């Protein structure tokens, strides 16, 4: 049996098949985080959707402390490598079978700046991931607008982690349309209420999704088992 645990904003820990990974570990400075970076242990990998501070977060420090591999778009992986991380670079449309599971990198429409890159040379494409762990396909959409490319994932996703906070990403209405495009079994909202500018109501999201998928709203620290 596998599980995912929400740690606020867009950070999730995934576990299954004896493997353990974390996505977008923004913990330090996250007012909703239920843990700190020192509470993360025994990781196989750190997956990063893009380089903004609220997603790259503690990723570099966590990866080094756990001797975990950073999986990221090519340029962001290069940046993490300069900071002493072991990395596996990927790019949009690519997939790779890791010891911990299968990872496919998919499109996300957002900004490409990398926090801490004073030279500006590591700006990169943001992404989402479809991670297959314990036979369950988990789609972390990253920070993104609604995209027609999401329709390509129809029938290929069991659990969808979808931003609903608006302003920087999709809002409730577009996020519900994204769920309709993908048609997962379960949709879990993320990237909402961390800051006032992304305040959103997950009940409104669930109402908008309707019967398309089961909506499960997790509070930081709560776990969903699959």
Find the CATH number of the domain harbouring 50: 3.60.15.10
pLDDT of residue 124: 79
Residue 157 lies in a domain: yes
Q: Residue 134 has what pLDDT?
A: 87
| 177 lies in some domain | yes
Q: Is the pLDDT confidence value at 120 over 90?
A: no
pLDDT higher than 90, residue 17: no
Residue 226 resides in a domain:
no
- N residues, the chain: 226
Tell me how many degrees the CA angle 15-144-186 measures, rounded to the nearest 5: 45
| Residue at 55 is within a domain | yes
Q: Using one digit for the tens of pLDDT, what is the confidence trace for 124-154?
A: 789 999 999 989 999 999 999 999 999 999 9
Residue 225 lies in a domain: no
Domain presence at residue 224: no
Q: Which domain holds residue 113?
A: 3-219
User: Considering its fold, how many domains does the chain have in total?
Assistant: 1
Contact 128, 148 (CB under 8 A): no
170 confidence band (pLDDT: 50, 70, 90): very high
**CA–CA dist 168, 162 (Å, integer):** 13
Q: Would you say residue 213 lies in a domain?
A: yes
Token couple for 30: 């996250």
As to burial, measured by CB atoms within 10 angstroms (0-12 exposed, 13-18 middle, 19+ buried), residue 92 is: middle
Helix (H/G/I), strand (E/B), else coil: 39: helix
pTM of the model: 0.96
pLDDT score, position 115:
84
């Amino acid at each position: 049996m596998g599980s995912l645990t929400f740690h606020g904003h867009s950070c999730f820990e995934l576990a299954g098949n004896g493997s353990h990974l974390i996505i977008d570990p923004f913990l330090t400075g996250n007012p909703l985080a239920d843990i700190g970076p020192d509470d993360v242990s025994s990781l196989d990998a750190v997956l990063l959707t893009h380089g903004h501070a609220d997603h790259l977060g503690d990723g570099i420090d966590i990866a080094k402390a756990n001797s975990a591999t950073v999986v990221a778009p090519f340029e962001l992986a290069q940046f993490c490598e300069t900071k002493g991380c072991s990395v596996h670079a990927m790019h949009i449309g690519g997939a790779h079978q890791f010891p911990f599971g299968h990872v496919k990198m998919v499109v996300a429409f957002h900004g490409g700046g990398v926090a801490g890159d004073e030279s500006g040379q590591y700006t990169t494409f943001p992404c989402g991931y479809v991670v297959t762990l314990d036979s369950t396909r988990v789609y972390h959409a990253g920070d993104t607008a609604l995209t027609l490319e999401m329709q390509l994932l129809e029938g290929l996703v069991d659990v969808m982690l979808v931003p609903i906070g608006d302003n920087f990403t999709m809002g409730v209405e577009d996020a519900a349309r994204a769920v309709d495009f993908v048609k997962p079994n379960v949709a879990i909202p993320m990237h909402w209420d961390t800051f006032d500018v992304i305040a959103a109501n997950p009940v409104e999201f669930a109402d908008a999704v309707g019967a398309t998928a089961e909506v499960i709203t997790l509070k930081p620290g709560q776990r969903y088992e699959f």
